[in-house]
Amino acid sequence: MGFLKKLGYGLLAILIAIFVFVLLCALNPSLTESISGILYGTDGEGGLVGNAAENEAGPDVHRDLPGGVQIQPSADADQASLVPYTPYNGTITTIPDNVLGRSGYIPVEGTGEELSETQAREVRDSIDKGSDGNGLEFDPYIYPYYAMLDSTTQALYRQIFANARDVVVSFAPCVEANTDQVQYAFEAVFGDHPELFYVQTAYTEKYTSDKKVVEIDLSFYTIVNDLENARAAFESAAGSIEEAARQYSDDYSRERYVHDYLISTVQYDETAPMDQSAYSALVLGRSVCAGYARGFQYVMQRLGIPAYYCAGTSGEDHAWNIVKLGDGYYNVDVTWDDSEPASYDYFNKSDGDYAGTHVRKSLSVYLPACMGTQYRNLESGEPSGDGLGELPEEREGYDPYFDPFINNDPVAPLDYESEHPELTEDEDNSSSPSSGTGTATTPSSNAAAQLAVHGLTESDALPSLEDYYRDCRIQLVSCGMGDHCFYNVVPESLFRTIESEYGKGNYLTGYMESALKTIGATNCNIVIQAERLGGGYYRIWHNVYVW
Domain co-membership, 452 together with 534? yes
Q: Which of the four pLDDT bands, split at 50, 70 and 90, describes residue 218?
A: very high
What is the C-alpha to C-alpha distance for residues 140 and 289, in angstroms, rounded to an integer? 24
Q: What per-residue confidence (pLDDT) applies to 393? A: 38
Domain co-membership, 264 together with 362? yes
Residue 10: inside a domain, yes or no? no
What is the C-alpha to C-alpha distance for residues 494 and 213, in angstroms, rounded to an integer? 54
Closest CA to 260 of 164, 166, 347: 347
- DSSP class of residue 174 equals S
Residue type, 244: A
Q: What per-residue confidence (pLDDT) applies to 24? A: 55
Q: Each residue of 235-261: pLDDT tens digit?
A: 999 999 999 999 998 999 999 999 999
Termini Cα distance of the chain:
96
Residue 525: inside a domain, yes or no? yes
Q: What per-residue confidence (pLDDT) applies to 37? A: 39
Q: What per-residue confidence (pLDDT) applies to 318? A: 95
Domain co-membership, 29 together with 71? yes
Last residue of a domain, one of 82, 98, 130: 82
From the CB of residue 61, how many other CB atoms can be counted at a distance below 10 Å? 16
Domain co-membership, 481 together with 526? yes
As for how many domains the chain has, the answer is 4
pLDDT surpasses 80 at 326: yes
What is the C-alpha to C-alpha distance for residues 308 and 292, in angstroms, rounded to an integer? 12
Residues 6 or more apart in contact with residue 6 via CB below 8 angstroms: none
pTM above 0.85, yes or no: no
Q: Each residue of 36-82: pLDDT tens digit?
A: 333 333 333 333 433 323 333 333 334 554 433 445 554 443 433 44
Residue 377: inside a domain, yes or no? no
Domain co-membership, 423 together with 510? yes
CB 322 within 8 A of CB 310: yes
Query: What CATH number is associated with residue 277?
Result: 3.10.620.30
Domain co-membership, 212 together with 118? yes
Q: What does each C-alpha distance from 25 to 18, 20, 44, 47, 485 come to in angstroms? A: 11, 9, 14, 22, 63
Closest CA to 267 of 290, 279, 285: 285
Residue 271: inside a domain, yes or no? yes
- DSSP class of residue 365 equals G
Residue with the bigger pLDDT between 273 and 409: it is 273
Domain co-membership, 409 together with 541? yes
Residue 180: inside a domain, yes or no? yes
Residue 467: inside a domain, yes or no? yes
Residue 310 backbone dihedrals phi, psi, to 5 degrees = -115, 125
- Which DSSP helix (H) or strand (E) runs through 213? strand 213-217
What is the C-alpha to C-alpha distance for residues 540 and 488, in angstroms, rounded to an integer? 6
- DSSP class of residue 220 equals B
Domain of 336?
250-366
Q: What per-residue confidence (pLDDT) applies to 459? A: 82
Residues 6 or more apart in contact with residue 525 via CB below 8 angstroms: 410, 544, 545
Peptide bond into 491 cis (omega under 30): no
CB 114 within 8 A of CB 209: yes
Average pLDDT of the segment spanning 259-265: 94
Domain co-membership, 438 together with 533? yes
Residue 417: inside a domain, yes or no? yes
Closest CA to 510 of 547, 462, 461, 468: 468
What is the C-alpha to C-alpha distance for residues 302 and 241, in angstroms, rounded to an integer? 10
Domain co-membership, 254 together with 362? yes
Residues 6 or more apart in contact with residue 243 via CB below 8 angstroms: 459
Closest CA to 526 of 518, 505, 517, 283: 505
Domain co-membership, 259 together with 307? yes
Domain co-membership, 344 together with 263? yes
Residue 132: inside a domain, yes or no? yes
Residues 6 or more apart in contact with residue 456 via CB below 8 angstroms: 265, 392, 489, 533, 537
Out of 50-54, 303-307, 394-398, 452-456, pick the least confident. 50-54
Domain co-membership, 144 together with 204? yes
CB 338 within 8 A of CB 262: yes
pLDDT surpasses 80 at 433: no
